[in-house]
Structure 1
Amino acid sequence: MKYWPLSILFLIGEHAFCQLDDIPARMAVYASRNNADQLFVHTDKHIYTNNEYIWFSGWLLHCGNDSMPLHRLLSLALVPADTRTPGIQQKFFMRNGYSYGSMQLPDSIAPGVYKLIAYTNVMGPDSLPLALFTQDLSIRSIRKPDIVAAATILEDTTGKKDLLLTVRNKENYQPIAGAELWVWCGNSKTIKGITDKKGTYRLNLSLVDPGSTAFPIINTKVKYQGDITYLQNKWPSNTADRQLDARFFPEGGYLVTNTICRIGWESKSSAGEPATMRAIVFEDQQPIDTITTNEQGLGKFDLPVHTGVSYSIKPIAWPAELQLKKEGYLLPTVLSKGVTISIPKAITNDSLFCKISASGYSQVNIVVHNYRTVFKQQALALKQGVVRALLLLDDVPKGLTAITLLDTNNRPLAERIFFAHYNSKTICTVTPNQQAYEKRQKVTVSFQLSKNGQPVEGFASVASAQANRYNLSKQQDIESFTYLQSSLQHVPDYTNGEGYKNEDHLEKVLLVRGWRRYTWQEVLTDKQHPLPFIQQLSVEK
């Protein structure tokens, strides 16, 4: 089997289609309209208590020399996860793309789940920050009150939902009458109440309607003789609302007849939570394969695509609390005319193998780019319907890169994302001065940065805290953020927050997030639009 190096083929097809010369200019305009300034914030831990400090370091990534001086102010806001109202806000100066500091949590802050939202003073034409970062945090209370409170959601046969609150003495478990209560959900109004002689209070949940809040939480504050405690309950959903969703992502974008297509697929609940599933693939009414998704709700399978048939799946194992959709689960419609691109290994280093198959097309335009810069482009003949190629990546930087196939009018036919120079990594070796420490004892560490065995210069942000103050599900490391989250929308979660380091997980992610047809349409039209005016917020002195 022969592979043609695309870097050589480009010389052959250099003058085949003059309209290809227009694409780099359009890509440059698109990049200028979609600012690439990125902000990353490192916090010292994920779990805090009242009166503690949130220590942080903030860094601007991929920031151009022309826009770097504009970012002079970093704003931090701590917002309850179920509302849009900041609980705490503070501003810090930023210099040369770097800021650091601390923000103290008040003693009165309510325990719960929060989002730390960070943004700079540079705003876009839509009045939204160009550089924005969010981090999930938890706040817990260190004070143990002398009361015990509980909340139970009740539902009758008519669908009416009530919240039943009980308050009791911690020592003798006797009911407490006269405890003050405050109940709210999202941005709803706050309902005040008092427990009766049985230590109970019942509230109709229709009075605290969360409105359009995505994942509403019912919050309850209980106060009795100086003791304060907080409760949180998920908003009850109807059983019929909790459905099993499945989405299918053919490699390249479409199912094309007479090809063997690799399909990435994703299974979730209707609320967006990953769901493990096992299912049977049907060609019309004939079972042909059994497929599964992992604990992140991701999977992949190969499908021989034929003409005149439809494909679907039938789940045979899934979370018991989820209902199946009545309409079933259909794969995308098979196209009789189209182009596919197959990449056996999308996590690569200095070269990339790919296979391009076509039905109804004799030639395509191939563009290798990252939506900021065009690295290679060429008109490619498909005389036999299939071309196998070896793409040399000498001119491609490390990170996510796309191969987009266009027709002769530069309309997108297929696209696939790959990760170039994956093993070209900078290694940070951290060495503490000892293995165990006493409370409030000074921690001294030394660290060394190296690449390919040679020392390199760089910056580091180091934090030390108890292991139980970290939550791996909330972890965001700077590599995963830079190469994945900032470039792909809605990246599937990984258990320890370091999906970038798991090649198999990353292969699946690129397969289900590898087709950005509408982004390419923006590239083709952006040349006609003026550049945006960048507004700046004033820096308070």
Structure 2
Amino acid sequence: MNTPLKNIAFLIAFLFINITTIFAQNTEKNQSKVLEKIYLHTDRNFYNIGESLWYKAYSLNAQTNKPHKHSRILHVELISPDKKIISKRKTYLDSGMGNGDFILTDSLGVKKPGTYQLRAYTKWMRNFGDHFIFTKNIEIISINDKNKAIVEANKKKNKPSKKIEKEVEIKDFIDLQFFPEGGSLVENVYSIVAFKATKNGSPLKIEGLIKNSNGESIASLKTEHDGMGRFKIQPKLTENYTAEITINNEIKEFKLPEIYKTGYTLGVKKVQNKIVGVINTNEKTLSTKPSTKFKILIKTRGIVYFEGLVESNKYSTPFLIPSNVLPEGIAQVTIFDEEGKPYGERLVYIEKQKNHSITLKANKTGYEPKEKVTLTVNAKDKNDKRLFSNFSLAAVDQTSNGTNSDNFENICSYFLMQADIKGNVNNAGYYFNPSNKKRLIHLDLLLQTQGWRDFLWKKELKTTERKFDIELGINVTGRVKKLFGNGPKPNSKVLMYYIDKEKTAMNVSEADKNGRFAFENLVIFGETTIMLSAKDKGNKSKGEIVLDSLEIAPPAIKFDITKINSEEKTATETVKENIFKKFIDFDVPIANQLDEVLVVGKAKKAKDANEFISFNQTFVADGTNTDFNSVQDLIQFSIPNIQVVNDTISFSRHRGRPALIVLNDIEIDASEVSSIVPESIDRIEAISDGSMSNFTNGVNGVILIYTKKGVEATRERKKFHTSKDVILGIYNWRAFYSPNYEEKKEKAWDEFADIRNTLYWNPYVIPNEEGVYTMSYFNSEVPTKVGVTLEGITADGIPICIKTNYTIEK
């Protein structure tokens, strides 16, 4: 009968005898097979409606965790509680780094508080399913709801209560799952069995007993951490085992997994600071086959770092897991028999000693309201030289970010753990917070219960399977066909016009023999109107342009927000209470919330940035006007800051109010412009400030159109050789703004209550040649505790998470 190993010296003596091969593979040789992992560092996890969400994107090689030049366009989406994409960003990635933001307002689609999902992916990632698509739930609250609740409560104080219908009771779903170490339970083999208890999908704290067929207790079970625990058992084939727990005075029973008559189990234990694997079996197995040679395979993120052989000819056969050759992260240890059949698998977390020193320090531990804060990041390698790294930093009012923010998901938990295991990990940052003394013990427990995404690494990356190419920029594709019929019009020249930095830009593409053309890897920012025109060899406009779809359908949305436990509800309500209290304490009207700075009061109306600027522009016909299908298109592409919506032509500074249109010195209605032939245009003049005294109706600007003499100006003509569309370009990110109380112009802030929730956000903290980066900002006027979080990645693929805090006191 098998017995537990007790003699450590005896165990160590056998460790190095059986190992035959060790090797590591290099997977970065072929960029076409690179897998990508995405992580978004956000400034907070809780937001009030009207605030801004700021994010820094990190795109890494999924197998090495190193930053790399691969995809350059990252798709970032905000998904509402009713599972609809309400806003999109195309974020430009420079060497795997990018940043952006969302203003969480009604105009964006944030119409109600609730749990929203932030999702990020590249097109290339979609070749491999949704395994590495990044998702993160954020809570958007509304303190207006709190205010309304107080008002309604006051109204009802003296009113008789109405009969309230009884709510339908939803029955709790209790689940208890068992995970024998190494895979299976084998008769008479001592095994560690991990378990996970949940209630409606959330961790559940339980206690109970393991009983045999006679109802006798043979082991106890008790959760150690987040609904997880483990117990030891030596199972008998003749017994049926059940776990018995009591929930709400009700006894519930759960069956343990099946027991096998013969077989092997794989266990892992620490012996004298070494990680040891142990292959266990029973007498019946050895009587059938006295000796079995097992192949040991150890992989991290799909890369094989260790391969060896070990012969099992006794109840317990130990082997050493060479942690010195493994990178930090989850190692997958698998044993195979001579026929290649896997017999057991165990996940082990390998933590490495850091060969660098990174510090984050504030110049003080306590500050006054509105006082200047100076933060210094120092990043050095083991030789006290600059550590090449890229970070992002957020300083936030802790009361607005949840009571458990130290245990939130971070770049370390995501790249070293979450991306490689199944399911959602509750309080993922807990396992990488050094202040949690049992974090590694509990991380090992998590790995025993939540499995591994090995199926992804086994997928062969064949060129023929690619549906999505690496996206390096904005692509506009289509074909030129004959005007009548569907046949191609080969070798056409295609011109594309668009506004670039307030000037009309033009690109040229040659259609192939099938009429196909492509404008690839364009760097175009924002929502941009493009116009394409087809010409033949004689430079005459010919054929019809048919554009391909400018956007592809997004991945299916997987967003389950029905399972929210009481702890999450309490955290949301606490944040709402804290933010609401700030508004009350500083006598701030709830309705007056201005973006992320939350500056409130009787503010002077901001002057238009262009208030004293006249955009007096002139377009003179040079032959290119023949490429345009309408004069509206010609005006939009030749005069900067012009907007054309249906028949309305306006200057952007006048916010949609129609400009006065004058044709050959005669005022006309804007609807008549569509009848003007572009070829008849001699010149177009635009005066945006409406200062022309000759035109009393030109307060919103004047557009003067002059036609050539002797050319018919108004005749209908549809041009098939042109095509106009709007593309969503790269998001032109906003710079984070916070006040500077040292400058005179910021004295106006004294009129307002500065109750910002995010005090500072910096997406690019890159140490200089000395390994130092210094930044400064000013506090809000709220006495509070401020949490500062630094996240990032080193050039050799090591995720970094550092936190510090300080107080603001009057």
Aligned mates of 1:329, 1:490 — CA distance in 2: 22
Aligned mates of 2:146, 2:451 — CA distance in 1: 51
Residue 358 of structure 2 aligns to a residue whose secondary structure is strand
Are the aligned partners of 2:59 and 2:67 in contact in 1 as well (CA < 8 Å)? no
2:196 equivalent in structure 1: 266
Aligned mates of 2:309, 2:302 — CA distance in 1: 20
Matches within 5 A, 1:106-125: 106=105, 109=110, 110-125=112-127
- Structure 2 residues without counterparts, runs of 5 or longer: 1-9, 434-438, 475-728, 731-810
1:341 equivalent in structure 2: 266
Could you report, residue by residue, the CA deviation over 1:469-494 in whole angstroms, capped at 9, with x for unpaired residues? 21236721211111110111125413
Could you report, residue by residue, the CA deviation over 1:226-278 in whole angstroms, capped at 9, with x for unpaired residues? xxxxxxxxx95532xx1321111111000011211011111112x21111111
Which of 378, 389, 392 matches 2:308? 378
2:442 equivalent in structure 1: 505
1:140 and 2:70 matched: no
Per-residue deviation, 1:85 = 0.6
Aligned residue type for 1:460: F
Aligned mates of 1:130, 1:253 — CA distance in 2: 23
Which of 245, 252, 256 matches 1:331? 256
Could you report, residue by residue, the CA deviation over 1:314-364 in whole angstroms, capped at 9, with x for unpaired residues? 114x356xx665xx3111111111111121239x97x42122112425212
Aligned mates of 2:255, 2:205 — CA distance in 1: 18
Aligned residue type for 2:455: T
Are the aligned partners of 1:245 and 1:267 in contact in 2 as well (CA < 8 Å)? yes
2:805 equivalent in structure 1: none
What count of residue pairs does the alignment treat as equivalent? 445
Per-residue deviation, 1:507 = 1.9
- Structure 1 residues without counterparts, runs of 5 or longer: 15-20, 150-166, 176-197, 205-234
Instruction: Check 1:439–1:272 CA distance in 2 against 1; reply closer, same or farther (3 A cut).
Output: same
Could you report, residue by residue, the CA deviation over 1:469-523 in whole angstroms, capped at 9, with x for unpaired residues? 21236721211111110111125413x732234112112112223577x739x84
Are the aligned partners of 2:310 and 2:319 in contact in 1 as well (CA < 8 Å)? no
Aligned mates of 1:37, 1:515 — CA distance in 2: 18
Which of 282, 289, 312 matches 2:211? 282
Instruction: Check 1:68–1:237 CA distance in 2 against 1; reply closer, same or farther (3 A cut).
Output: farther
Instruction: Check 1:33–1:55 CA distance in 2 against 1; reply closer, same or farther (3 A cut).
Output: same
Matches within 5 A, 1:374-413: 374-413=304-343
Matches within 5 A, 1:123-272: 123-125=125-127, 131-143=132-144, 147-148=148-149, 168=152, 170=154, 173=157, 238-239=170-171, 242-269=172-199, 271-272=200-201
2:578 equivalent in structure 1: none
Instruction: Check 1:311–1:28 CA distance in 2 against 1; reply closer, same or farther (3 A cut).
Output: farther
Matches within 5 A, 1:410-449: 410-424=340-354, 427-437=357-367, 441-449=371-379
Aligned mates of 1:336, 1:32 — CA distance in 2: 47
Aligned mates of 1:113, 1:449 — CA distance in 2: 36
Per-residue deviation, 1:415 = 0.5
1:457 equivalent in structure 2: 388
Root-mean-square deviation (CA, aligned residues, Å) is 3.9
Are the aligned partners of 2:184 and 2:260 in contact in 1 as well (CA < 8 Å)? yes
Aligned mates of 1:453, 1:491 — CA distance in 2: 39
Are the aligned partners of 2:63 and 2:302 in contact in 1 as well (CA < 8 Å)? no
When the two structures are superposed, what TM-score results if normalisation uses the length of structure 2?
A: 0.49
Instruction: Check 1:94–1:131 CA distance in 2 against 1; reply closer, same or farther (3 A cut).
Output: farther
Are the aligned partners of 2:363 and 2:374 in contact in 1 as well (CA < 8 Å)? yes
2:469 equivalent in structure 1: 535
2:659 equivalent in structure 1: none
Aligned mates of 2:136, 2:185 — CA distance in 1: 38
Are the aligned partners of 1:4 and 1:388 in contact in 2 as well (CA < 8 Å)? no
Are the aligned partners of 2:19 and 2:319 in contact in 1 as well (CA < 8 Å)? no
Instruction: Check 1:236–1:62 CA distance in 2 against 1; reply closer, same or farther (3 A cut).
Output: farther
Aligned mates of 2:244, 2:400 — CA distance in 1: 42
Could you report, residue by residue, the CA deviation over 1:141-197 in whole angstroms, capped at 9, with x for unpaired residues? 244787438xxxxxxxxxxxxxxxxx947457577xxxxxxxxxxxxxxxxxxxxxx
The higher radius of gyration belongs to 2
Residue 480 of structure 1 aligns to a residue whose secondary structure is helix
Are the aligned partners of 2:298 and 2:331 in contact in 1 as well (CA < 8 Å)? yes
1:226 equivalent in structure 2: none
2:398 equivalent in structure 1: 467
Aligned mates of 1:89, 1:527 — CA distance in 2: 29
Moved more, 485-494 or 437-446: 437-446
Instruction: Check 1:458–1:247 CA distance in 2 against 1; reply closer, same or farther (3 A cut).
Output: same
2:426 equivalent in structure 1: 493
Aligned mates of 2:131, 2:184 — CA distance in 1: 33
